[in-house]
Amino acid sequence: MCYNKNRMLTFIIHTKNGLSIACKSGDDVKIIPGEDAINATNLAIDYNFRRDMYAVKMTQPEIDYFKIHHYIWQTFLNSGESVCLIQEDGVDFSADEDDMAEVVTELGDDWDVFFLFDKTESHYQHTSIELQTSRFGIFWGDYAYMLHREGATKLVDINCIRQSADEEILAASADGKLEAVYYETDWVTCDEKTLYSYRIRHQAALSAVMAYSGWSDHNRTLAQKLMRMVRDHAAKLRIDLVLHGGTLLGHVRHDAIMPWDDDIDLGIDEHVLQPLLQSIEAEGVIQFKQLPWTYEGADSIYYKLWLDEGEEIPGHDYKFPFVDIWLYFDDGVDIYYKEAPRFRYPRETYLPFQSVSFEGTTMQIPHDAIGALDLMFNTWKKQIVVYPWSHRQEKQAFRFMRVPIQVSDNGRLQSLIRRK
């Protein structure tokens, strides 16, 4: 191998105030505007590949960032050097030329790409950023890797952008088309959430999640009508209806029904259920039925309410949209539901209720709604999870998706993306 440790060819991708590439060889530095690199790279775009695999389409910033990497691969080949280092700004790189020379020598010639970290190491399991647009379910990253000449030769043959550069490299390695090596060097330190490469991928995943919807405009309007009618019966009897489960989460985190959560969960004190049902039955407009709840060994019941003008659900005698009413119990210490052990709250967390406006209707929420959600969903502040179940069809119909988020002090969804 021809490797000159005093002349390591290094490419640093700068992302602040627009994309650019700093190409360094010894003391020589050449700055390449990102626009020039992007325009010089003519690749086809396959928007269906990642969308079919993860339900997240490639976005223009991701496409441009892939082109930057492709341009670097080609520039490296044109240089005649045998090895190069590619890194993103925002990464603290602690290795010196001797460290890199030693590792490159140990690797020999039987490698194509060397990631300077190993996300399969156990210490990453609790710190890696979960991102569903990845074969590993986490953000692997292309922010620090070394490239061998043979590897660059293989990578420049890519003529279609289907996914991010790191995912393309990992896929080629899994298919036996490229030799990717990764182990922990301790050379790289960064806060991944601040990296441009992570942020644009996160934004693509978040946008895809937020575009999900189990609701048509008609069905959402009908759901609001049903809630309002149930609330009117409860108000007449001075009965509290409290937002529960994913419906409470929707109110606190999204100020609305979550687009992918196509049912409505309300809680009611066990002692006042029958007067409410009697009032509803006497009017004869809202239909309801009692159903068992035995999930994960629970021994409970709940009530499903719907309108005749709703949408038929094949194989079921109720219609969409519907409201599920769950019973809560008071043992003097805790307020609890029988559906799951985690649905147990200290009385001071749950009572007294607060009145809120939800989907145009006045409803109740727990006194400490954030505290109640912490007991129900331990990751609700850190990630959105879209489960496959569709209540409209009562079967799996959605794609499972997971994307990290941040929330404000009051639990409201905030974006991780910070434009620079």
Give the start-to-end residue ranges of the domains of the chain.
5-211, 217-414
pLDDT (tens digit, 9 = 90+) per residue, 176-222? Answer: 999 999 988 889 999 998 999 999 999 998 888 888 888 999 999 99
Helix, strand or coil for residue 363? Answer: strand
pLDDT-above-90 percentage for the chain: 74
Tokens of 315: 């194989």
Quickly list DSSP for 288-308: EEEEEE-GGG--EEEEEEEEE
pLDDT-above-70 percentage for the chain: 96
Q: At a CB cut-off of 8 Å and minimum separation 6, what does 418 contact?
A: 199
pLDDT (tens digit, 9 = 90+) per residue, 84-136? Answer: 999 999 999 888 878 888 888 888 888 999 999 998 887 776 666 777 778 77
Say which CATH topology domain 217-414 has.
Beta Polymerase; domain 2 (3.30.460)
Which residues, listed in sequence order, are joined to residue 324 by a DSSP beta bridge?
265, 304
> Which of 42-56, 58-72, 397-411 has the highest average model confidence (pLDDT)?
58-72
Please, what CATH class does the domain formed by 5-211 belong to?
alpha beta
Q: Please report, as a single letter, which amino acid is at residue 312.
A: E
What pLDDT is stored for residue 168 in this prediction? 96
Quickly list DSSP for 316-357: -SSEEEEEEEEEEEE-SSEEEESS-TT-EEEHHHH-S-EEEE
Q: At a CB cut-off of 8 Å and minimum separation 6, what does 125 contact?
A: none
Beta strands in 138-254 (DSSP E): 144-148, 160-161, 180-182, 188-189, 242-243
Q: CA 300, CA 109: separation in Å to the nearest integer?
A: 64
Nearest Cα to Cα of residue 169 among 99, 292, 69: 69
Whether this model's pTM surpasses 0.85: no
